[in-house]
Amino acid sequence: GQQLNQSPQSMFIQEGEDVSMNCTSSSIFNTWLWYKQEPGEGPVLLIALYKAGELTSNGRLTAQFGITRKDSFLNISASIPSDVGIYFCAGQLRQAGTALIFGKGTTLSVSS
Amino acid sequence: AAGVIQSPRHLIKEKRETATLKCYPIPRHDTVYWYQQGPGQDPQFLISFYEKMQSDKGSIPDRFSAQQFSDYHSELNMSSLELGDSALYFCASSQPRVQQDTQYFGPGTRLTVL
C-alpha cells in the first residue's frame, strides 16, 4: 500500500528550541494534514494544506505543501513543554470522502 | 465548538462477542470515516461514508460492517471479536463541499477484547 515516510521518529529538545519534521512519499497527494496526538486521545488537527507550494501558519506552527505534492514539513518555533506529543502527517491521495494515509509519527519530548 | 462524539469511550468484550461503536459527526458534516489504531501505531483507515453511501473502503475485516444513518451518525458493528481487534477506534467527520476534506477526529473508543 501507499506509505508516507515521516522523520525523525523521535526528538528530544530543550524548551525554546525550534523543531522541524517532514513527510515524503513516492505518490502525489491532493491534501496534506498535520495532527498532534496525546496518549489515549484522538488526533487533533493542527494545519491543513490543499495546494502545492502552500505555506500556512498556526501560531508557532508553520507547515508547507511541497511543490512536487510528494512532501510536506512542519516547523514548531520556540517549543514549550505542552508541545509534547506525537505529531502525524497525513495525506489524501484521492477525492474528498476517501482515506487519509498517515505517517508513522514523530514523538516530541521537551525538557524545561 | 462542537466536536465529533463517540460512544462508548471504553468497551471490554470477550472473544467471539459482538460490539457496536457509535459516532456522531460535527453538526452539518455529512462525511464520516472510521480508523483503527493499534498500540504504538498510526491510524489505519477502515471505511468512510458520504451522504449515507460508502465512499471508500480500506483494510476493514469482513467481520466488521458499518453504516451511516439519515441523521449522519454512523455505527461500526464488529462481530466474532478476536484478541487482535483490541485497539483504539476513531471516527472522523468532514464537510467536503464546504471545507474541502478536512477530517476532524473524535476522542476514540478503546476496545479491549479478552
Taking contacts as CB-CB distances below 8 angstroms, the residues of chain B near A102 are: 42-44
Q: Is B79 on the interface with A (CB under 8 A)?
A: no
> pLDDT of B41-71, one tens digit each?
999 999 999 989 999 999 899 999 999 999 9
Could B96 and A31 be called an inter-chain contact, meaning their C-beta atoms sit closer than 8 Å? no
Q: Count the Cβ atoms, other than its own, within 10 Å of residue A90.
A: 26
Could B88 and A40 be called an inter-chain contact, meaning their C-beta atoms sit closer than 8 Å? yes
Q: Is the pLDDT of residue A50 over 90?
A: yes
Q: Is the pLDDT of residue B101 over 70?
A: yes
Q: Is A39 on the interface with B (CB under 8 A)?
A: no
Q: What are phi and psi of B98, to 5 degrees?
A: -110, -40
pLDDT of residue A1: 61
Q: Count the Cβ atoms, other than its own, within 10 Å of residue A24.
A: 17
Rounded average pLDDT over B12-16: 98
Q: What are phi and psi of B96, to 5 degrees?
A: -60, -30
| E strand intervals along chain B | 5-7, 10-13, 19-24, 31-37, 44-50, 53-57, 64-68, 74-78, 87-94, 104-105, 109-113
